[in-house]
Each structure stands twice: as C-alpha cells, then as structure tokens.
Structure 1
Amino acid sequence: MDGDVMIAGFFPLYTLGIDLNNNEASRQKEHIPLIFKTYQFVLALAFAIEEINQNSELLHNLTLGFDIYNINFEAWAVLKDPFIWLSGKYKIPNYSCRRDSKFIAVLTGPLGITSAHIGTLLELYRIPQFTFGPFDQALSDHKKFPTLYQMAPKDTSIATAMASLLLHFNWNWVGLLTSEDENSLWVLVKLKEEMAKNRLCVAYELVMSSKFVSQIYKFMTIYSQINKSSANVLMLYGDNESLLDLMMCFEQLLIKGKVCIMNSQWDLTMRRNYFMLGSFHVPLIFSHHHADVSGFTDFIKAVNPSKYPEDFVLARLWFVSFNCSDSETDCVTWDNCLHDASLDWLPGHIFDRTLSGDSYNIYNAVYTVAQALHEMLLHQTEFQTMGSSKETVSSPAQLHLFIKNIQFYNPAGDEMILDEKRKLEPEYDILNIWNFPEGLQLTVKVGKFSPYALHGNQLSLSEDMVEWAIGTIETPHSACSESCGPGFRTSLQEEKPACCFDCNLCPENEIANGTDMDQCVKCPDHQYANTQRTQCLLRAASFLDFGDPLGMALACMALCFSILTAVVLGMFVKHHDTAIVKANNRTLSYILLISLIFCFFCSLLFLGQPNTVTCILQQTAFGIVFTVAISTVLAKTVTVVLAFKSTSPGRRMRWLLVSGAPNFIIPICTLIQVTLCGLWLGTSPPFVDTDAHSEHGHIIILCNKGSLTAFYCVLGYLGFLALSSFTMAFLARNLPDTFNEAKFLTFSMLVFCSVWLTFLPVYHSAKGKVMVAVEVFSILASAAGLLGCIFAPKCYIILLMPNRNSLHDFRDKRHSRRNKPS
C-alpha cells in the first residue's frame, strides 16, 4: 500500500524463504507454510493507516502507506529481509540504493530477540523502530538501542496479579517454569517475592532455554518432576521460542491433572488445535487490558483478495480456507468461491478476529508515528516557507525528538506515553480458552486485575465462566498440606516450605477462628474456649456460695457447731457453782467458748460473693478470734501449772496465781496478733480477685490474700501459741488432781496443730472454690477439735455423772489418794 510516507512492517508470516524479486506465481505455491495466526498484524497495520488517512485533522495533505516483510524465526535468517529492505531493488548488503526512500519508521516483533537483531542494524541509520511484542528488559537499554521504542508496557504488576489469582483459588503449592531470558528471570524474582509475601510456596522452579530443551535426557527429567509433583498448578512466563516445543511434548506425554497459568505472549502456541484439547489444560491467560477499537471487526469482515490484490498471504489464506481456485490469467479472478466469504467465518485457532495485544500495539505504534510526524510538520511550518501544497518530510532521524516526548490519546481513549518512567502500570484481562469439537476454540474474558483498585478488590473473576480441563468439573486443588480448619494451628514440617505443615489442636483456653493459623489466640481471662477451640465464650461468675452443695454443707457445719458451742456455754453457766466448772477456771472457760462461737461464725465470711469488706474481715477475724482461743488455752495451761507449783512452800508461784497473772496472757497475745494484722492491712491488704483457670467455663471470684508473707506470719504466730500451749499442757499432764484438764488441753493442741499442718500442702495444691473450702474446713475442724477435746469430758461428767461433780466427792477422793500407801 503506497503513500507519501511509508512504514515498514517485519512480521513472521511464513517459515520458508520466498524470493520477493520473483513473479507472482512464485508467491502462490501451495507448499508455502504460512502462519495465518499472525496475519492479524498486517490487518491491524492496514486498518490503522486507513483510519489515519481518512482523518482530515491528522497529517493534513500527507498519506501513510506500508510495506510488509517477512521475519524468520531462525537467528541466521533474521536479517535477510531487513537487508533487502535497506538495499532496495538490488542485492547489495548494507547499502541503500533508495536515496529517495519514503520510509519513516519500522515495526518489528513479536519476539524480542528478532527486534534486537534488527535494531542493531537500524541504529546505524537512526531509523525509528517500534516493537509490538511483549516488553523485553534487554531492549530497554537506550545506550544499546537508542532508536528503539517498546509499545508494550512493562509487566510491573504481573507478579501481583498472578499471586492474587493463586490466593483466589487457594492454590499455595505451585510450580514455576520460565524461559531463560532477562525479562522472564526478572519476573521470576518478582513472582517469588510476591508469593513469599502471601505465604505461597514454590514446589519446583524450572528455567528453560532452547539449548536445554534439545537435550532429551534433561528434558525428561523436567517432565518427570512436573508430572510427579503434588503441585497441580504450573505457572509459565516467557517467550514461546524456548518453551513451545516443551509444551507440545508435554501434551504428547499426557501430563494429567495440571492447571496452567501463563502470560499473553503464548498466543502463538494456540495455533495447534490439539494442544488445548488435551489433559494438560491452559485455562487462564493474563493479557494486557486495552480498550475496544471500534470498526476493526467490520474492517476484517470487509477484507478479501479483491480489495488487496497484491497481498499474496491473504490470497493463500482464502485459497486454503474457502477451497477456492484462482485463474491462470488473472490472479484477482477467483473461481468456486462464495461471494460473501469472510475472515469472520474462520475458527479461532486459524484466525482470531479479536484484536490481540500485539495487534493493539501495532495500532498504537502507527498512531504514534502519525502524531509525531504531525507535530514535526507543524514545527516545520513555523520556520520554513511552504514551497508546495504538500509538506516535505525530513529524514527519519529527526523524528526521534518528537517521538520521545509524545503524549496523546488514541481513538480508543487510551493514553499513549513512550517514556517508560511515565508509563502507567498495565491492567490485565484474564482470559480462558473454551474448547469445542474439531479444534474449535473461543477466547473468553473471565476476569480482570487492576493495580489501581483498593487492596483486596484488585482481582475480579467470574469463576462460573472458567472452563477447566476436559473431564474436570470441580475447581482443581493444589496444596502441599490440607488446610487446618478452625480450632487448629499449623506446625511446620522439618526441612519443608512453609506451606507444608501438620495441624495441631489449640491448647486449653486458646482458639483459632480462621484457617491455617500459625498461632492460637488466648482467650481473655473473663472468657474461655469452647470444646472445638473455635471461639471464646463468656465465663459464668462462680464463687463458694451458700447455695452450692459444698457451701451449704460447710454453712450447716458452722451453724451446728456454733449452736453446740452455745449449748455448752449455757450448760457451764447453769452449772457454774459445780466443782468441775470452778476447778477449771470458769472465766477462762467462758472466754474460750465464746471465742469458739466466733471461730465458727467467722467461717461464714468465706461463703457468698466476696467483696472488699468480707475479704478483709475473713483473714483478720480468723487470725484474731483464733488467737483469743489459743491464748485462752495457753492461759488455762499456765493456770494449771501454777496451781500445782503454788502448793510447795516458799514458792513465789502462789503469788503469781493469786495476782491473776495468767489472765494477762490473753490480751497480750491478742495485741500482738492485732499488730500483725494491722501491718498486713497497712502494707498489702486482701482484695477481691478472680481465678479463670481452675474451673472450665467459669471465672471464680475469690479473695486474694494480698501478702502471702503476712498471711503465713499470722498462721505462724498461731502455730507458735499452739505449740507453747501443747508444750505446757504436755508437761502438766501427769499432775495429780481430780479435775486436771492438762491431758485434754494436750490433745486439743495436738488436733489443732495436725489440722493446720495438713492444711498447708492441701491449700497449695487446691484451686478455686476448693481452696476456699479447704480453709473453711480447717477453721471448722480445728475449732471443733478444741471444743471436743476440752469440753466433751466435762459435759460428760456434768450430764451423765453428776455424783462426781461435787465438792464433797472431790475432797474424799483427794483424801483417799493421800492416805494410800505407797
């Protein structure tokens, strides 16, 4: 297609060399293996140029044209057609006979390696080169390729997009396969970083080159690793030159049950109809998102050999696809052809009617050339006088200044910027290939990834539209270990990635309300974990209540002992003139009985819901009342000892007995205990506390003693008094007297000490309400021991043997004991 200004396009249209200087017949040989899939590149170039030429506001009186040249896949033949283009009509390598050449720019692609070879040659002539293939990191070196411009955006977000897809399907065990080029290795690093950030694991990592594939034994090793791996997802990124043969061999070897995710530059691999129909399915492809170009579909429908008679590729496509035959005399005349035949009839694996990403880059490259040329012409009008009705175009080298800083919106509405630093991150369409019988395919958009959306909303996917491998209904699963459900935490397996773990039940009172949690969360003290360890439930408040069976039993015991003690006190008051009451110091007996009543009653302070007042009264009342009781026993013991010692002549003991010195023991001992309790309350008093660990599902409200040291000091002082009383009573146990109660006092102190010595280990091992019950029981047991050991024998004499409770009988027994021969 001729024009005032020309653009050369180097596209991979066929794989065998064709002599472009030969006649038309040589171009139409049936054995030429054309690549019809790439013919869309030619149509995209033609469509853009026709659209620009019809735009009266762009380029004014200038028209664009184009020439198409084949580019070979083989490295040794890459520069063949560029040399033909540069040399002109004659075969003179690296010498241009086209002094009046109208070419202003060159389009190359889609492979980066071919663009690099051609760019090295074109750089000598400063001709602008536009690559329409995927972004290549090697081509971004502006020192090496100063005249090369890449139309495709850099895949800065492809790693995030692929990781988001893996997270969407919960695929955390994935294989990686890339080609051995600079861009693929850069994406591989970014992808591994993104996967590590999201706790996605790499099952295996393979980097392929063309040389590597050629070595069959290494190739089989890779096949074995992919096929035997437990990872059911394989992610591919790279150019098809390195991996195409590998993928087709995989298809023949029947790698089953694997899901493949790849980038859009794999579009060329779909030209084989059997490739997509096998068990190794390629369901999800990331393609750069672009706006729809209006009019392109109608343009394709209108394309036919009559419209472009010089296009031998189109003629060959028509011949093969619609079973036509051409006339020997006129190549434009077609026989046995449907008049309404159209490219729109062809299946997708032969010719794709949807504008591909590479074709869209060609469309944008043409518009970039036109916009830059338009600005250059406007710039010339400011400094030059027009000599004709048409603008004159300077050399292609002058166009670079306008291309580098260009910024415009194409007719589809997308902003075009060639400066890589100013380019926006690309958005991605997620495509799925639907397979039909006879190799028919349909490319369907099933999702989109936008890096500009809020985190968590970047990926949108219609999962019900995704077609998996043939025979597969459910979404494939790919994980090293099954997910740990709620109530379990993960435990990493030794020498394996983080995705390989065991599931362990959360410890007591800890929960895991999510899946694959590293650590269980401990419930607050006022809550507890349910049996499944999935949620924290509110604990019910609990304490040693009067309504509890244990609390009720202890309260009944306290009341019964209190009543019994009161009865004994009443009995002593009623028989206060009897010999046994008088002989055992009636006043001290009254004090002891009253203190025992208070001992039984103070145990009730430990029952019911604790508060600050009861917590303080519990320990102080217990300590002081028991001090009175034990000091009374000590006073009674001292009285007994003084009573017998005072009978000896010349002793001062009688004076101590008559002066009432034993009676001062009670207030002195009690004052010491009151002082200890005062220091306790002044430094660290008891307070209301909670115990959330002793009883499952309950939070126990109890009194914290504040200072354990003070508590044990109180107990130690009581133990000291009890031990002193026990020692005195033990020494006086054999003193001769009818009503000598030293033996009973000895037994009472023995019971008291035994109870509280047993209390200490039991109290430390008990928890919660049981700990409180142990202390209450110890109070009741020790007080009951004092009551029983001291007053039970006396009550027995008073109630059952009144004849022994008289002064006359007491004197007769005493007289007979003295006259008894020794």
Structure 2
Amino acid sequence: MINDPHPPLHTFHQSGDLIIGGITSQSFIVSSPIDFSEKVPATLLNELMTLTKNYQHILALAFAVREINENPQLLPNITLGLQIYDSYFNAKSTYHATMLLMSSLKRFVPNYVCDPQNNLITVIGGLDPLTSLHIATLLDIYKIPQIIYSHAPVMNDKTPGLPFYQMFPNEEHQDQGIISLLLYFNWKWIVGIVMDNDNGERYVQTLFPLFYQKGICFEFIERVPQIDFLSDLLDKMKETGKLQDKVIDSKANVVVTYGESYSLAFFRFAAFVSGLGLAKNVTKGKVWIGTIQMETSTFAFQRTWDLGQIHGALSFTIHSSDPPGFHQFVERRNPTSTRRDGFIQDLWERLFGCIFPNHFLNDLEKNICTGEEQLESLPKDMFELSMTGRSYNIYNAIYAVAHALHDISSSLFRHRVIINGGVLRLQKQRLMQLHHFLSGFSFNNSAGDTVSFDQNGEMVTEFDLMNWVTSSNNSFDNVKVGRMDPQASSDQDIRINEDDITWHRWFNQVRPLSLCVDPCHPGSRKTVREGQPFCCYDCTPCPEGKFSDKKDMDDCYKCTDEEYPNKKQDFCLPKGISFLSYEEPLGFILASVSLLFCVITALVLGIFLKHHETPIVKANNRNLTYTLLLSLLLCFLCVLPFIGQPQKVTCLLRQTAFGIVFSVAVSCVLAKTITVVVAFMATRPGSSMRKWMGKGLANSIVISCSTIQAGICAVWFLVSPPYPDVDTHSVVDKIVLECKEGSVIFFYLILAYLGFLAMVSFTVAFFARKLPDSFNEAKFITFSMLVFCSVWISFVPTYLSTKGKYMVAVEIFSISASGAGLLVCIFCPKCYIILLKPELNNRAQLIKRKTM
C-alpha cells in the first residue's frame, strides 16, 4: 500500500506485485525533435518550452493510484505502483522508456524480468499521438494493453495487434459537434487554421469536405508554422504575424482552429508579434473555435502576453468532474512539504518566476522561492486546481484498469487460485485477458460519472462547450455554456445556453454574423456567383407562382393547390372560390342584358303576332319567322345556366342547349334565305322551281339542320358529357368552379357546325341581297350573318386567352351579341315599317315595287 500521501513522481514506486507504467510528457511540447546544435543550453530550452499546466496530468495519475490503494473494496490484495518517464517527443527516447518499463526495475535488460513483485500491466500513452504510436509498436509484441488519454488519430492506421483503449472519444463526434455549433449560429463563412503537420493536413483532407456538405465555406485555410529550430524563431514569428493580419482582415468573423494541446501557445505568437508592431495591431475581434485537442495552456514565458485575442472563444472539451479530494490534494502540494517529487521544484520556479537558493549562482538576482506561494493565485492558463479534461482521462484510465483487474482477480478466485506468501500473484497469461474486460467495459467513478468503452475501445462520453473569458488583468476563465451528446439525434445533439456566452468585445455582446453575403430574405432564392464558393451568391426574387418562407433558400417552392403566394412571395394564402355569380356586377350585368333581349324579342314576337295578316309579316314564311323569334328568345335564356355555381344539371344543359337552340335559329335564317332565292327563281316562266315552293322546303331545312346538331349533342352525352370540376391552376389566387366540357372535340364540333350553317346562310344571302322584292330579307340576313360570324370568329381566340369565370363571360357575351345581331339586323327594319311606316305595309306597295 502507499502510505505517503504524496507518492514519488520522478522515477517509479515499487509497492507490490503490479506496476502501472505511466509515460507522460510535460517538459518539451513540440511534435518533432529539436536540434539546436548545442547553441542553446538546456536551461534556456526548458524555460522556452515548458507547459506548466501539464503537471496536473502527473498529479491525477498519483491521486488515482493513491485512492485505489486506499480502497479495500476495489483491490484488497493488490497494490498498484507507477513509473513515469519522459518521451521528449522523440522516437528514440520513447522506445527506450518503453523498454525500461518492460525490464527489471532500475536496469535496462530487454526481454528479461527477474522481479516477480513488479509486473507491468498497462501503459498510459503519451500526450502526443506519435508517442502513443511508438509505444504501441513495442507493446503489440508483448501483448500489453495501452490506454491513451489524448487524441491519437495515427493509431487508427497502426498494424492490427492488441487493441488499444482510448480515453478520448471518437474524433468524428467532435467534428459533428463543431458543424452543429456553426449551423446553430448560422456561421457559414469561416476561416480555417491548422498546425502545419501531418495531423493538420489530415484534418483538412477529411473533415473540411464535411463542412462543404453542410453548406459551410472557407474564405481560406492557413497553416501555422511550427518552430523546429530556435534559429528560425524570428522568421516563423513574422510569418505567424502575417497570418494574423490575414485573419483580422478577412470578412469571416469565425475562425475554426485545429491543433495539438500546445497549439494555443503557438497561436499566441501571432498576437504577440502584432503587439510588437511586426504586424498590424489587432483591432477587430473574431470568434475562435477550438477543438478538444487544444487546451488553454501557455508557455511560461508567455505569462505577461495579452489574452484579448481569444476572449469570447468557444471550444469543446471532454466532460470532466472534480473527484472528491483532488482539489485539496493539489492545493497541499509545495516544494517544502512534498517528498519524492522530482518535478515540483523546477515547476515551482517556472510558475512563480523565482528560484530556490543555491540553484544557479548567476541567477541570484531573481526572486527567491519560499515554497509558501499559493497555487490558487495562478492564472488558469498556467495552472488549474480543478481537474482538467486530460487529467480526468488519466484518472479514469487508472480506475478502468483497477476495475478490470478486480474482475480478473475475482475470476481467478473462482477458477484457480495460486497463493504465494499470502499474496495473490496473477499468472502472466491471465494478464492477456485485460483487454477482454476493457472492451465494452463500464463503471462509475468516484465523481459520480459513468465511464465506458465501446467495442472499438473508444470512450463514450459527452462534450462540454466552453467559453473562454479573459479580463483586463490577463486572468482567464472557462465557462460552460453548452453540451453536446454524440448519442442523441442530429437535431438534438447540441444544447447551448446562448445567454451565458461572452462574445469578444468587438461585437458589443451581440451574436456575431459570419456570412459571405447578407442572407436572402424570404421571397427570394440564392443564385450562385460564377467562379466563387457557393456561400457567395446573389438573391433573386422567386418566379411567379412560387414562394420561399425562410432565409437563404436554394429554391422557391409552389404552394398547395388550395393556396397561392402573397405579393412578397414569402408565404401562402388560401385561395378564394371563384365562379360567375349573379351577386357580382359582371354576372348581374350579363344576366340583365340577356333578360332585356328576351323582353325585346318577346315584344317583337308580340308585334308580329298582332300584325300577322300584314304583307310584311306574311312575306318569307310567317311561321318560319315565328320559329326564328322563339329560338332567339330561347338563345337569350340559354345564358342563365352559365351564371351561378356549376352543378351537374347546369353543366349538361349549358353547351347542349346553346348548340341546339342556335342551330335552330341559324337554320331558320338559312331557310329564309333559300326561300327568297327559290321564290325569285320560281317566278320565271317555265321554271321547274315552282314545285319547291311552299312551307315544306323551309320546314325540312330547319328540321334536318337542327337534327344533325341534336345528334352531335346526343353522342357527346354518351361519350364524354360535361361535368362540374374544380380548377386550381388557371387563376393564381382563386379556385375556379367550372364546367368541364368532357370532350373538347365535341364542343368545338358544335361551334364548327354552327359556323358552317352561318357561312352557308351568309353566302346565299349575299348573292340574293339584290333580288327585286319589296320585302326581300336577304340584304338584312347578310348583315346579320356578317355580325354573327364576326362574333364567333373572334370568340375562339378570346375564349382561349381568358381564364376562370371570364371564359364563361366571353361565351355569354358571344351568345348575347350574336343573338342580338340576328334580332336587330333582321327584325328592326320590319318593326320600323310596321310601327312607324304602316303605309308601306300594304299589298299595293308590294305590287308597285314589282311593277317598277
């Protein structure tokens, strides 16, 4: 058991059968070896590249081991120990440290372990992805599982072997979270910044296409240069300063950054260079979005640098909690009371900018460390008392191993127990079972959180959305403003408390916009500009009959058949019902005109009946005249079924009644014309036309011509009769109640037949107009047929060019106008003579005209 509350952290601690190997990196935070060609002393290198915040990773490891060893319920017969080595982000050093872990303690003898009291069970991988990959190369040979507490995308491509376990969730979940965050705030025009390394390039190639799929564009993507050699420091800082200028001058207000845990420290070079005047001063704020990999940590020499650039930034972090007692455990650590900690004295000097006496004689002018300095007085980017996300991963990793060992030991007790001196010794082959217990493993830690691995060996967890808030005195704080659940549906995966977010001061606490162009308002649609990203577009109004009810619509849509777009074309209105009714002025006027002509026709018929014995009434077949007047009366009454809401009966009667009645009227006119011609020809001596004289010819013409039209209507009824219907397309804002012809062919066949009769009547009347007869009607029939044909010839194009109730109105007008033409042209001259010139209405006048 570990009795010392502060176990040694500089080498290893042997306290029982098992050793937990912990390979951590906290000194040199660069991703590739640095070769200074002995130009820079080690003390200056440490001063430059120390991230003091990572010391907490070691404390989390020690705290978890101490808790487990003091818990008699978890591993009652097993004591955990730990070893800590520094990889120096160097493959050679990493391989060497890994071999030391698998060798006898304090001795480097590969493949030889002579101490039965120390068995390597698990290795906690490094902070850098390449460190974990180098470790896995050796561990796969020895079948020792590795638990990785940071992201390691390169591990997905490693040679298949013993599964590794990642206390870091699948990076795809974080990627989806960033996309959801951008879409939540409608940020679609952004800048991308990555570290100039393999991970950064992989991120550009794999993730950024997903942004485009979600409608998010990049104004540009920049790569932050890495400082591999101190001699390149000034040049790289200038290059970073130019990058800063480009970002500040960009139109995008959102910057998505991807990097490692130390990337923020490198990004701060840009603001520092700007402050020195090597670049433009930072006057414009941006919303920086960081990934889980990035931590709010800085190098020790950056403690006085301005943090205003990242004020208001947002980043996802792994959900973490403070285990009970960890805060006090960290708070009590200091160089004077903590034993066997080879890191704390060096760390203390960097944290508080002081030195301990007799450290370096040439540095005595610096402040002297008393050991009583308070860790809680430090800014959070230098050191935190609360457990950070990666420290929480280490803490949970140790507990995952402990719970797995507990299950393995319980299984061994049930099957085969080997006792040696009262201490349980696990057989080496049984240790290979560890990864079977870790796969799909789940447990509750002391902080009350559930920790579990999926079948791929990745931790299943939620993400916290953090808001980075800085103050004028350069202090820093992380404020939780939301949460992202990868297991939730896509529309419920992210929850944000926007009121808790503090934006950069540039935005005056108003939600920032980040778009290439102003959004298209409802009623318009996007039109992509040629040669530019699809996020840069023009706004064009919706075509007629379509609408868009949201901003930035890619296309406009049609309303339902029962709706139509409003004038602004941003929403749909319900259509009104439209049909030609008696209540509206147009229907009332047309009905009134039709009834007026009915009355006039009835009066004319009454006049003719009253004067039925006069020569002018007897001329040209008196009964035929009465038939014509009755048919004209019915023609004007045919208008009435066209007005009002269409019904099945009225639809059947409309066209058929009109066609038959008009064919009777035109047939009467034709019979009258032929009667005039036959009468003239019969007066010639020896003419054979005398046998055709009489009423039989006229009646035959009327009956036969009308019967043909009636036959057409009868076939129409049998084949495809008219029916009431609803038209939702002809008129934009109306639902038109109408009568469908059923078969349009028959409708136009009726009109064509009427036109044929009218043309024949017009032709015959035209040639008979100058025949000598006092009461010759041919000239009047010519004019009436001219009016009739003109009306119906103009009817066809007019009818086809109108819609809705106006089509009905055009047909009503044509019926009334053509009927009125026949009535006026044929009967007005006769009524004039009957009523105003009765002296001309006598037989003597007729004989006189014949003599002349």
State the TM-score bracket (shorter-chain normalisation): 0.7 to 0.9
State the TM-score, normalizing by the size of structure 1. 0.87
Secondary structure of the residue that 2:787 maps to in structure 1?
helix
Matched, 1:48 2:64: yes
Secondary structure of the residue that 2:171 maps to in structure 1?
coil
Change (3 A) 1:77 1:250: farther
Q: Aligned match of 1:265 in 273, 293, 298?
A: 293
Q: Aligned match of 1:249 in 264, 270, 288?
A: 270
Say whether the 8 Å CA contact 2:261–2:294 is kept in structure 1: yes
Q: 1:396-407 counterparts in 2 under 5 A?
A: 399-406=431-438, 407=441
Matched, 1:610 2:646: yes
CA distance in 2 between partners of 1:487 and 1:754 (Å): 45
1:298: which partner in 2? 328
Change (3 A) 1:225 1:548: same
Change (3 A) 1:751 1:126: closer
Secondary structure of the residue that 2:526 maps to in structure 1?
strand
Q: Counterpart amino acid of 2:385?
A: R
Matched, 1:344 2:379: no
CA distance in 1 between partners of 2:505 and 2:658 (Å): 83
Q: 1:721-740 counterparts in 2 under 5 A?
A: 721-740=757-776
Say whether the 8 Å CA contact 2:297–2:381 is kept in structure 1: no
CA distance in 2 between partners of 1:573 and 1:147 (Å): 115
Q: Counterpart amino acid of 2:422?
A: S
State the TM-score, normalizing by the size of structure 2. 0.84
Q: 1:661-810 counterparts in 2 under 5 A?
A: 661-692=697-728, 695=731, 697-810=733-846
2:256: which partner in 1? 235
Q: CA deviation at 1:194?
A: 3.8
Q: Counterpart amino acid of 1:65?
A: G
Say whether the 8 Å CA contact 2:145–2:434 is kept in structure 1: no
Change (3 A) 1:274 1:74: farther
Say whether the 8 Å CA contact 1:405–1:419 is kept in structure 2: no
Q: CA deviation at 1:34?
A: 5.3
Q: CA deviation at 1:119?
A: 4.8
Q: CA deviation at 1:323?
A: 8.5
CA distance in 2 between partners of 1:419 and 1:716 (Å): 81
Q: CA deviation at 1:295?
A: 2.0
Q: Counterpart amino acid of 1:252?
A: V
Matched, 1:59 2:94: no
Change (3 A) 1:680 1:251: farther
1:445: which partner in 2? 480
Q: CA deviation at 1:44?
A: 0.8
CA distance in 2 between partners of 1:131 and 1:769 (Å): 78
Say whether the 8 Å CA contact 2:285–2:506 is kept in structure 1: no
1:152: which partner in 2? 168
CA distance in 1 between partners of 2:242 and 2:369 (Å): 51
- Compare 401-410 and 662-671 and name the one that shifted more: 401-410
CA distance in 2 between partners of 1:250 and 1:326 (Å): 33
Change (3 A) 1:275 1:539: farther
Q: Aligned match of 2:692 in 656, 662, 666?
A: 656
Secondary structure of the residue that 2:295 maps to in structure 1?
helix
1:131: which partner in 2? 148
Matched, 1:631 2:667: yes
User: Once the two structures are superposed, what CA deviation does each residue of 1:231-255 show, in whole Å capped at 9, x if it has no partner?
Assistant: 3222222325678535523553456
User: Once the two structures are superposed, what CA deviation does each residue of 1:503-538 show, in whole Å capped at 9, x if it has no partner?
Assistant: 222222222122222222212333221112122212
1:455: which partner in 2? 490
Change (3 A) 1:750 1:352: same
- Compare 378-387 and 233-242 and name the one that shifted more: 378-387
Q: Aligned match of 1:12 in 16, 25, 34?
A: 25
Matched, 1:364 2:364: no
Q: CA deviation at 1:327?
A: 7.6
Q: 1:102-121 counterparts in 2 under 5 A?
A: 102=118, 104=120, 105-120=122-137
Structure 1 unaligned residues grouped into runs of 5+: 18-25, 330-334, 818-822
CA distance in 2 between partners of 1:545 and 1:44 (Å): 86
Change (3 A) 1:264 1:270: farther
Alignment coverage as a number of residue pairs: 801
Matched, 1:200 2:216: yes
CA distance in 2 between partners of 1:403 and 1:307 (Å): 39
Secondary structure of the residue that 1:265 maps to in structure 2?
coil
Say whether the 8 Å CA contact 2:288–2:312 is kept in structure 1: yes
Change (3 A) 1:149 1:89: same
Q: Counterpart amino acid of 2:177?
A: A
CA distance in 2 between partners of 1:632 and 1:323 (Å): 122
Matched, 1:191 2:227: no
2:39: which partner in 1? none
Q: Counterpart amino acid of 2:465?
A: I
Q: CA deviation at 1:657?
A: 0.7
Q: CA deviation at 1:428?
A: 0.8
CA distance in 2 between partners of 1:809 and 1:328 (Å): 155
Change (3 A) 1:560 1:324: closer
Matched, 1:278 2:308: yes
Secondary structure of the residue that 1:157 maps to in structure 2?
helix
Change (3 A) 1:636 1:467: same
User: Once the two structures are superposed, what CA deviation does each residue of 1:258-289 show, in whole Å capped at 9, x if it has no partner?
Assistant: 32212232116445446672335571111122
2:277: which partner in 1? none
Q: CA deviation at 1:691?
A: 4.4
Say whether the 8 Å CA contact 2:317–2:389 is kept in structure 1: yes
1:20: which partner in 2? none
Q: 1:199-598 counterparts in 2 under 5 A?
A: 199-206=215-222, 210=226, 226-240=247-261, 244-245=265-266, 248-249=269-270, 252-253=273-274, 256-267=284-295, 269-271=297-299, 272-273=302-303, 277-281=307-311, 283-318=313-348, 342-374=374-406, 383=416, 385-392=418-425, 399-406=431-438, 407-409=441-443, 410-414=445-449, 421=456, 423=458, 425-472=460-507, 473-598=509-634
User: Once the two structures are superposed, what CA deviation does each residue of 1:155-208 show, in whole Å capped at 9, x if it has no partner?
Assistant: 231111111111111111233333466665555555335434432233334556
Q: Aligned match of 2:637 in 595, 601, 609?
A: 601
Matched, 1:645 2:678: no
Q: CA deviation at 1:667?
A: 0.9
Structure 2 unaligned residues grouped into runs of 5+: 1-7, 34-41, 275-280, 360-366
CA distance in 2 between partners of 1:513 and 1:452 (Å): 32
Secondary structure of the residue that 1:439 maps to in structure 2?
coil
Say whether the 8 Å CA contact 1:434–1:441 is kept in structure 2: yes
- Compare 172-181 and 793-802 and name the one that shifted more: 172-181
Say whether the 8 Å CA contact 2:168–2:459 is kept in structure 1: no
Say whether the 8 Å CA contact 2:442–2:451 is kept in structure 1: yes
Aligned-residue identity in percent: 39
Q: Counterpart amino acid of 1:548?
A: E
